[in-house]
Amino acid sequence: MRVIDVPVLIVGAGPTGLLTANLLGTYGVECLVIERNEGLSDHPKAILLDDEGLRALQAAGLAEEVSAKVIAGYGARYYAPDGSCFAKVDAPITEHGYARRNAFLQPDLERTLLAGLERFQQVSVAFSSTLERFQDLGGGVEATVSTTDGPLTVRAQVLLACDGGRSTVREHLGLAMPGRTDSRDWVVVDTVNDPDRDRFSKFFCDPARPMVSIPAPGSGRRYEYMILPGEDPAALSTRERVRETLSRFRTIPDEDMTRAVVYTFHARVAERLQVGRVLLLGDAAHLSPPFAGQGMNAGLRDAFNVAWKVARFVAGRASPAILDTYEQERRGPIEEMIDYAVSLGEIVMPVGGFDEAARARILEALVPSGGAMQPKPQAAYTEGWLLPGLGKDQSLLGRPLPQPMVPGTEGEARLLDDHLGNDFAVIAVGVDAQEIDPAKLLALAPNTLHLQPPDAPLVANQLLLVRPDRFIAAQIDPDRLEEAAAQFATF
């Protein structure tokens, strides 16, 4: 049997696994991605790419290429049975530097991610390769993989499970996935050449038949409609029934209907996201209803959170304890996002009748005034890889760093992350970094950016330690820089 040693083994070549591999590649980490299928999937699957997902792709050096293929900044409208619009979601450019909602085609994204790996000689992908079994040996993981060339033993320091909702890794670990599965299945129909060119999703919250219409790139559109009690899912997803059900929107010739499938919606989180040297990411770790468009995006956030930590660990720059911070940081935001999606689903699927009182209670939390719906929840870490208590102001600790456009040395404005590099960075706010011993700054990060504070700064006269995933790890008063460096060195 062939045996190979590699620092990181990634199981699954979907968006989460491929983004993780690209990020590890930018950090110089050798890794192997295995995928049981013969190649990438042609199914559209996810259709919304959000601002945080694009920021993670930016860190991998792929945001510009991906952005060229999306419908940027599309919103959403929610309609009552009488056709009136009672709530809306806009999609402005956010603090992350990108529009909040962007329509994309998942096969395009996966092809871009796979092609991106060609930049890294130390990253390889093996299709038609199935994980058969593995064991955590304490100091690493040993996995048996079946390939077209016969069995292969892979010895890795870390195994990252990105192998989807039916995760083999999660099953082998014996981890339950508590939560709920909705009893109401939906038919999902992807079309091209659609006459509806509105740049927003439409949610028809009608108990007679809840339906959704979503813009897609290339003059396409996705339609989703709920299967009512007593209906046969197979019959309702035939081309004839699809045409009949969607006749209120358009006439769909066969050549314009690219896919019609039945989906079951889940709201579940694995009981553990990490077991020793094995970490679960994306759908292997959590499943969300689609009403917030956050299933795949949550997986991209997992990848952004995990990759830099794994890179530091396998390079000997951090202890195994850094792997524990993944679950500490991500579980809360994952559960909060799923709850948000479930709440949106209760609006979209008023199967007990369009109850104005019930709708009002839900909307009170989601739509404070003026019919503008609250944006998705934003993660704020209270534990994990953080260095608290190093400054008088700790209001930004554990929060994502805003990403404005920042002029470069030659005057050309670029997004802030492009100035920071892909490692830790220090932003000196109202502090003259040139007056600080460079060795003290280098003990924290290889790059320092000096910003003059605005007239009413959120923080002033502080150093912000920014993690590679752009969360603020510390707010440091200048006279406590040595203390910060000491804590950083022992983390």
Domains 2-67+104-179+268-346 and 186-264 share a fold: no
Tokens coding 299: 């997986």
Q: Burial of 452 by CB count in 10 Å (0-12 exposed, 13-18 middle, 19+ buried)?
A: exposed
Task: Indicate the angle between helix axes 15-26 and 295-314, nearest 10 degrees.
Answer: 30
Architecture of domain 186-264: 2-Layer Sandwich (3.30)
State the pLDDT at residue 106.
Answer: 96
pLDDT at 456 over 80: no
Say how many C-beta atoms besides its own lie within 10 A of residue 243's C-beta: 17
Span 2-67+104-179+268-346: which CATH code? 3.50.50.60
pLDDT at 369 over 70: no
State the pLDDT at residue 433.
Answer: 72
pLDDT at 440 over 90: no
Buried b / exposed e over 85-124, threshold 16 CB at 10 Å, is ebbebebeebebbbbbbbbbbbebbbebbbebbeebeebe
Q: Chain-wide mean pLDDT for the chain?
A: 91
Q: Which residue has the higher pLDDT, 28 or 347?
A: 28
Q: According to the CATH classification, is domain 405-490 in 3.40.30? A: yes
What mean pLDDT is predicted for residues 171-188? 94
Query: Out of 107-111, 261-265, 457-461, which region has the weakest mean confidence (pLDDT)?
Result: 457-461
Gap between the Cα atoms of 76 and 60, Å rounded: 29
What mean pLDDT is predicted for residues 147-152? 94
Tokens coding 272: 């553990």
pTM of the model: 0.94
pLDDT band at 349 (very low <50, low <70, confident <90, very high): confident
pLDDT band at 457 (very low <50, low <70, confident <90, very high): low
Gap between the Cα atoms of 264 and 182, Å rounded: 7
pLDDT at 228 over 60: yes
- CA nearest to 213, candidates 348, 338, 106: 348
Domain ranges of the chain: 2-67+104-179+268-346, 186-264, 405-490
Q: Where are the alpha helices (DSSP H) in 174-293?
A: 233-236, 239-245
What mean pLDDT is predicted for residues 163-167? 97
